[in-house]
Structure 1
């Protein structure tokens, strides 16, 4: 990961942008608007072919240990199909090189993306299967144990709060939140879409926050929950962040298939309904902060 502090002007530009490039932390900076697609002839499926990032925990990895890997296993069992993965780093052109890539006379590389934000128009998006929110994370035992909510953090005396270094990935809603609350000078931005294939979303928590290079981090909720569970020392506290006027933190997540494959999309959506209990159990096991609209925490 690129962990150097950019010059102040560049930092202010990033921190004031406040635009969600992609909830999965790896997507195109601008979404291409696709025309309405015609229905396609859909072949009989003999294998469930899943598009994945090979190093994107807690979502997916080559060892099939992530949330989306576990969901694929549930779907494969329900369909009576073996699960295969096509792995490609989720940087620019991920969808073009996975779900939509097909050479003449060959099959598509994969048929489903297990996690995309609702509104992502490079794919045909299914009904959502969970909603999560960004979270504030800090290391316990380092002077912030009295902070139990985001409002507690904002209520800290300025002389105390203004000494804190707040780590965040650039081009996320955390940028707009810092700007709104006059905390830009405390922001320590990190690259979201680093060209380094070894980079993974949890580095900000597992390396930077744990080592004390930042005092607080703001990351997407599933990342916060998973790495707070995985990091044993120091223990990490996770505070889900409700959306505010002008700053949206909570997003619905769905699955993505190719445009025109209506029967396949309907089949996926049926599985989302019939396997809801198993899906929720997986999300809970990975400690995904599940919220209602507006970021209100669910029981």
Structure 2
């Protein structure tokens, strides 16, 4: 009886040891990444480009260094089919994928599992100093200010995204004021936000609503030549559709819990370095 009890106990101990060994092997496997494979857009600064000049590239380099891993990219334009052709694209029958990490997605992204947010930003109202809009400090007063001080203002707005809703709410959708921009041009190398900043600098338009990271980065390219004002547009708490502030996360495939935890840990341990990278790129951060 005692021998039988001891035998069962030994079996339980051995089984527990095997299970624990398996657990630790899985944990170590999650930590030991030989190659950090990142999914990225080849033509989308300030986020990324195939010359590796974007803030995503800087963060990827940081993470690869911390993991002791090589860095590899799979490039595809961030438009329809991006996740299918990158994060979810299987490489033959190996069970591996083209890439394992997307560095910039909305925290509410549904096509993949998102990490904890690592920054928050918003759409911004952008204008150039010295054209009669300098006293404007609240974007919500834009239409009233224009009517009183600068009735002939030309206002750029993309045909995609919440900028249209804001312009409509401000009464700026008339042909007298609005200058439309194509939100997703046929050429993946053309960025509408960049074009709007260039047109403000050239005096072709007076102001525009632009996604904050894009506006901040391209406005910074004119440092020492022209000065831009970026006014964050707050969410309209009375109307959930009027949302302009978004938290940004990274994304991995659903079901890859250990990998997601590894990325969350990297975000936590390198938050100051990540914030510095974002600030260096002119990204307006909402705290």
Aligned residue number for residue 94 of structure 1 = 82
Return the index of the structure with the highest Cα Rg: 2
Trace 1:36-47 onto structure 2 (pairs within 5 A). Answer: 45-47=33-35
Which shifted more, 253-262 or 104-113? 104-113
**How many aligned positions are there?**
251
Partner of 1:148: 137
Are 1:66 and 2:54 an aligned pair?
yes
Q: Which has the higher helix share?
A: 2
Query: What are the superposed Cα offsets for residues 222-253 of structure 1, whole Å, 9 maximum, x if unpaired?
Result: 11111111124332221111112321110000
SS in 1 for 2:260: helix
Q: CA RMSD in A?
A: 1.8
* Aligned equivalents of 1:149, 1:281: Cα separation in 2: 27
Determine the C-alpha separation between the residues in 2 that align with 1:76 and 1:263. 17
TM-score, scaled relative to structure 1: 0.79
Is the partner of 1:95 in helix, strand or coil? coil
Structural mapping, 1:1-299, within 5 Å: 45-106=33-94, 107-156=96-145, 158=147, 160-185=149-174, 186-232=177-223, 233-244=225-236, 245-246=238-239, 247-291=242-286, 298=287
Structure 1 residue 213, shift from structure 2 partner: 1.9
Do the aligned partners of 2:121 and 2:285 also contact (CA within 8 Å) in 1?
yes
The answer on whether the counterparts of 1:56 and 1:201 sit within 8 Å (CA) in structure 2 is no
Kept in 1: contact 2:127–2:229 (CA 8 A):
yes
Partners of 1:252 and 1:48 in 2: CA distance: 24
What is the SS of the residue equivalent to 2:205? Answer: coil
- Give the gaps of 5 or more residues in structure 2: 1-28
Q: Which ranges in structure 1 are unaligned for 5 or more consecutive residues?
A: 1-41, 292-297
Distance across 1 between alignment mates of 2:127 and 2:215: 10
Please state how far the C-alpha of 1:261 moved relative to its aligned partner. 0.9
User: What's the TM-score, normalizing by structure 2?
Assistant: 0.82
Secondary structure, in 3 states, of the residue corresponding to 1:156?
helix
